[in-house]
Amino acid sequence: MIVVLKPQATEKQIQHILEKTKNLGLKAHVSRGVERTIIGLIGPEDVLRVTPLEVFPGVEEVMPVLAPYRLVSREFKKESSRIAIRKDLRIGDRKVVLMAGPCAVENRKTLLAIAAKIKKAGASVLRGGAFKPRTSPYDFQGLGEEGLKYLKEASEKYGIATVSEVVDPRDIPLMVKYVDVLQVGARNMQNFTLLRELGKTKKPVMLKRGISATIKEWLMSAEYILSEGNFDVILCERGIRTFETQTRNTLDINAVAVVKELSHLPIVVDPSHATGRRSLVASASRAAVAAGADGLIVEVHDHPEEAMSDGVQSLIPQGFSSLVRELKKVALAIGRDL
Ligand code: PEP
Ligand code: MN
């Protein structure tokens, strides 16, 4: 922690800060310049959360040296994490993992039909919401446990892993019985009760970035899960809200590289919610793979015009197949497989 003092800070004020920080168990190194004095502090910085130095007379600025997130940071773990979704499937490796499927599980027949097609196209994870966090309480809220059963059936029938969103901590015990990855949706990124409970499970968690969340806030949310003991966290960039209205959200492609610098956790990109339009999904997907994403999660529906949610941004299975062919070339060009 570096404390920059005001140019007019008095000796009495400096001594007051030194005395206080010593009592807090911090070691201080004072550097007196011509213009101003700087104090470097070493020790358990956490104590400064309760006693913020900013409020002390004479202090201009306090700069933390370490990131506020620890366990998720590259400082904590240098090599990139590989997370086992299933025994034979890992994310964070050379292979870019493709997740695809409908926004919501609507009925058994549709889900099984889509699962067969996306598996054939090259996806290894089937997505589908059984609990849908809809903006309107009058919209389709998902099939609940019935939907989870269809996901499990599709998973066994086609040998494909599954990911589905959990919106309520009370549903966790139910969901872990049926799915391989528990998704936290953008609207719940800062539902700290949910995050803590997910930290106590042994299932991989895919944490989507909040609608208006900074990367730091997102990583702090991931820290909640790791701090409870679950290190199997996959981050998901799904676009953020900006002033732009042409697209549903703005895909923050920078986030892929930024997360790779700051954290060891794998990151996937959701080009469907990031763009909100079928015609834009392919370019966003290519950009994501080129930027170094470890996976993609794409909405696919075989009859988007009949979809109960997000039909406008869903690819049809043939569209998904041709996208996969294009993405193979992009992956190869940057030294990865797909
Ligand atoms: C979804 O994946 O269907 C979804 C609701 O996404 P998000 O939480 O990113 O809006
Ligand atoms: Mn959706």
Q: What is the pLDDT of residues 184-197, one digit of tens each?
A: 999 999 999 999 99
131 Cα to the center of ligand 2, angstroms: 11
Taking CA atoms only, the protein residue closest to ligand 1 atom 6 is: 185
- Residue 58 backbone zone (phi > 0: left; psi -120 to 50: alpha; other: beta): left
Superfamily (CATH) of domain 83-333: Aldolase class I (3.20.20.70)
Tell me how far apart the alpha carbons of residues 291 and 268 are, in angstroms, rounded to a whole number: 11
Q: Where are the domains of the chain?
A: 2-63, 83-333
Q: 208-227 burial string, b = 16+ CB within 10 Å, else e?
A: bbbeebebeebbbbbbbbbe
Rounded CA separation 167/153 (Å): 22
pLDDT at 86: 96
pLDDT attached to residue 103: 97
Ligand 1 centroid distance, CA of 200 (Å): 23
Map the chain to HEC letters.
CEEEECCCCCHHHHHHHHHHHHHCCCEEEEEECCCCEEEEEECCCCHHHHCCHHHCCCEEEEECCCCCCCCCECCCCCCCCCEEEECCEEECCCECEEEEECCECCCHHHHHHHHHHHHHHCCCEEECECCCCCCCCCCCCCCCHHHHHHHHHHHHHHCCEEEEECCCHHHHHHHHHHCCEEEECHHHCCCHHHHHHHHCCCCCEEEECCCCCCHHHHHHHHHHHHHCCCCCEEEEECCECCCCCCCCCECCCHHHHHHHHHECCCEEECHHHHHCCHHHHHHHHHHHHHHCCCEEEEEECCCHHHCCCCHHHCECHHHHHHHHHHHHHHHHHCCCEC
Ligand 1 first shell, C-beta below 6 A: 103, 129, 185-187, 208, 238, 270, 273
pTM greater than 0.85 (yes/no)? yes
* pLDDT tens for each residue of 148-193: 999 999 999 999 999 999 999 999 999 999 999 999 999 999 999 9
Q: How far apart are the CA of 61 and the centre of ligand 1, in A?
A: 39
Query: For residue 238, which atom of ligand 1 is closest to its CA?
Result: 9
What pLDDT does 322 receive? 98
CATH fold for the domain made of 2-63: Alpha-Beta Plaits (3.30.70)
Tell me how far apart the alpha carbons of residues 73 and 239 are, in angstroms, rounded to a whole number. 22
What's the gap in Å between 273 CA and the centre of ligand 1?
A: 7
Give pLDDT, residue 183. Answer: 98
pLDDT value of position 159:
97
What confidence score (pLDDT) does residue 178 get?
A: 98
Surface-to-core class of residue 298, CB atoms within 10 Å of its CB (0-12 exposed, 13-18 middle, 19+ buried) = buried
Q: For the chain, which residues score pLDDT lower than 50?
A: none
pLDDT of residue 161: 98
Chain segment 46-91, per-residue pLDDT in tens = 777 777 889 999 999 998 877 789 999 999 999 999 999 999 999 9
